[in-house]
Amino acid sequence: MVGLVVVCHSRALARAAVDLAAEMVRDSPVPIEIAAGLDETTFGTDAVAVTEAVAAADHGDGVVVLMDLGSAVLSAELALDLLDDDRRSRIVLCAAPLVEGLVAAAVAAAGGAGRPEVAAEATNALAGKLSHLAPADAPGEASLGDGPSSTVTVTNRHGLHARPAARLVATARAFEARVEVRNRSTGSPWVPATSLTRIATLAVGEGQDLDIRASGPQAREAVAHVVALAGRSFDDTPGDASTAPPRTDTAPPRTKTALPRPPGHAAAGVTAGRPASAGVGIGPARHADDAVPDMPEVASRGPDEEWHRIEDAMAAVRRDLHRLRASTARDAGEHHAAIFDAHLLLLDDADLLADVRSRIADGSPAPQAWHAATERVATGIEAVPDPYLRARAIDVRAVGRQMIRMLVGVPGATKVEDGVLIAADLAPGDAAELDPRVAGVLLAFGSPAAHGAILARTRGIPMVTGVGPAVLDVAPGTQVALDGATGEVVVAPDDAVLASFRRRAGEQASRRARAAACATAPAVTRDGTTVAVGANVGSVADARAAVARGADLVGLIRTEFLFLGRDTAPDTGEQEAAYREIAEAFGGRRITVRTLDVGGDKPLPYVAAAGEDNPFLGVRGIRHSLAHPALLADQLLAIALVARAAPVSVMFPMVSTVAELVHARRMLTEAIARAGGDEGGLRVGLMMEVPAAALKAAAFAPYADFFSVGTNDLTQYALAAERGNAAVAALADGLDPGVLRLIDAVCRGAGGRVAVSVCGELAGDEAAVPLLLGYGVRELSVAPRAVPVVKEAVRAAGLDHATKLAARALQLEDAAAVRDLAANAPHR
């Protein structure tokens, strides 16, 4: 009989699923084993436990393995590599839904089915539910026949939220084809891929499958480009640490204290919301003017004239959005400016505009027609189960308010210039135009993941969200204090509470001012050791921002910005010009150029690539470059040309073996010869991201001038926890002692001859700085806005104490214990 193994993050969930399946086959018990949880209460998966479960379930007929998500898949695949060839040949990894799939697999196995049939039954387990619940195609959405189609898995951390959805719409609109998509995982109806509002209602989350189909003259090209876009995670990039919500172990507890208190108020009451942007804010309450303007009850002037009013208003709002996009790109970066691309697409959304036209044809004036249509869309988005996607309803309503203001001739909302801004929610446009004198933002609703919160973080404005509707009743002018790192909010604080908040605010302001004032000065520890603090950049604009914030050098240039989002590779001249411009911005200080880091998870549309079951363990980084030598040769030539006139380092990503590094160095030597034979001050290094490479660092040392530890990938590989997977995100902490041991191994393997730097997010974590120095790291490269603060963290450290602290951290059991150690250390 075929055995079954359940790989799941939760031991309790796995046991419950097994109990359900066993109930279905009581007369013919099936061997079912679980490999679930790290213990009875801790979520996680373990490859060794999977191998043990497989051995126990295999009674000679083989095993079908069912997994839940994320690292469960990775652990199962790693487990296969640990098995001998004979047993491995009898194992099938099955992508079926865990609960339904397990029940179907158990019934099939009990009936004597073989491995392929058991896996097929599990995979088809949702068919009955889908048939029962999935609605038929809506009228006007008839089948596209036998046209090209495909299915992709959405890997974006928050699914198809505004930015990736906007890029999907833009791609679909670029072809002479009718493109439709649906959420295969939920059995949703098909919707036009050209409608941002319809895509939003699909609620496509991370890990869910998206079906794509098309018809028309360019149908095949359209499907191919959408598939390629999905393979690039819809060209969406995670924000740096400065844009992540403040890290807390648990959500702060809500109290029942009512917020509105004066006049004659008693003792100050404390409530708690969700921390969204760190910092302390104190000031008088100022309410946002975010209501929908009054719409006069007047008769329609006729369909044609009302539609002309809509077109004129759309043109005006489009100009405003382009202005906001440009200013946000300048101040916060291109990634955050892309929020407004979704707003612009809403103005062209075919589904929304058809609804507006229909309402106007039925006699509604333009403002009422637009308001009703946008409310229909927003209400539909609010009905989706995913909280991150639900938060996108604010984008629809924000564009709706802008349109209605234009239609009724009401000027933009009055801007708050000081105090604590109180609002129901904060749209991206309002966040982008917040006056820098605003002390903080307090939202009744909203989410730390909303675009308004993201922009507040990039601008350094404290924010607390989700405080509750009572905050809207706080009287204007009432003193309010908030802490955006803890979610604490106090209305009308008494003198003692106010003094406490002011002390916190003063300490933060002094620290920021001290860091900013000294940003351009070297970072020197208390015992006189200089540590270089550089910046990670992904564009020329990033480089200029890094110079302004005091970066000593460029520790990492993400050259992917030149290769992604286009149909052909950049030639040598284009690459040379970009690298030279970054070098000139740094005025003779060293820049480190990482060669192209793409592969299975970030494919290039102009490079043929085979599909991979697990692209994170596939042809990535240097493997991809060596497989496509023409691309690498052109890039190395561009780097060598710039190195003739500027101090340049070249760094190879995802190196696993010495042979890979030797091969890459040989190609670099050839590029130097093509550039004229003068290598200038060119230095050569590799990124330490693969645990095996970290453990054999000494073997790489003869071939490298420096090692740069990429803690993002090193952490996810060491802990088998994908950093973009919310289900295991808590595990992916670079301060885990296991990860620290790998960093220590890199420094020991360098042997004092090879310099060691850290360019991952851990370098920007103040708690990590003394530990990294203690292991021997002497260069840190961080997001540009983090440079001043990290320099201050270096200045606060002493190497003798840091070395002892680092050694103690290696003996602890988890990242939380390491963070406690760092926080409570008497001298950091």
Category of 647 on φ-ψ map: left (φ > 0), alpha (ψ -120 to 50) or beta: beta
Residues linked to residue 649 through DSSP beta bridges, in sequence order: 592, 683
Q: Where are the beta strands (DSSP E) in 466-605?
A: 479-483, 488-491, 523-524, 530-537, 554-558, 591-594
- Residue 564 token pair: 């992604």
Catalytic residue among 8, 94, 747, 759: 759
Long-range Cβ contacts of 660-665 (<8 Å, 24+ apart): 660/622, 660/623, 660/626, 661/622, 661/686, 661/700, 661/703, 661/704, 662/703, 663/626, 664/595, 664/622, 664/625, 664/626, 664/632, 665/703
- 189 phi/psi in degrees, rounded to 5: -70, 165
Q: Are strands 530-537 and 523-524 parallel, antiparallel or unpaired?
A: antiparallel
Compute the distance between CA of residue 796 and CA of residue 777 in angstroms, rounded to an integer.
16
How does DSSP classify residue 282? E
- 451 as an active site residue: the answer is yes
Strand order in the sheet with 32-36: 32-36, 3-8, 63-67, 91-94
Other beta carbons less than 10 A from residue 518's beta carbon: 15
* d(C-alpha 441, C-alpha 466), whole Å: 11
8 A C-beta contact, residue 21 and residue 66: no
SS (H, E, C) 451-483: HHHHHHHHCCCCEEECCCHHHHHCCCCCEEEEE
Helices in 563-686 by DSSP H: which ranges?
A: 572-585, 621-627, 629-643, 658-674
Q: How many CB atoms are closer than 10 A to CB 496?
A: 9
Tell me the C-alpha to C-alpha distance, in Å, between residue 310 and each of 300, 370, 404, 429: 13, 8, 9, 20
Task: Find where tokens 């892309």 sit.
Answer: 338
| Alpha-carbon gap, residue 777 to 763, rounded angstroms | 10
Alpha-carbon gap, residue 435 to 438, rounded angstroms: 6
* Alpha-carbon 724 to chain mean position: 6
Name the token pair of 646: 């500027």
E strands, 278-327, where? Answer: 280-287
Number of H helices, E strands in the chain: 33, 25
Q: Which of 287, 451, 628, 801 is catalytic?
A: 451
For residues 446 and 279, give the distance between their C-alpha atoms in angstroms, rounded to a whole number.
Answer: 18
From CA 775, how far away is CA 798, in angstroms rounded? 13
Residue 706 and residue 365: Cα distance in Å, rounded?
67
> Residues with catalytic annotation?
451, 759
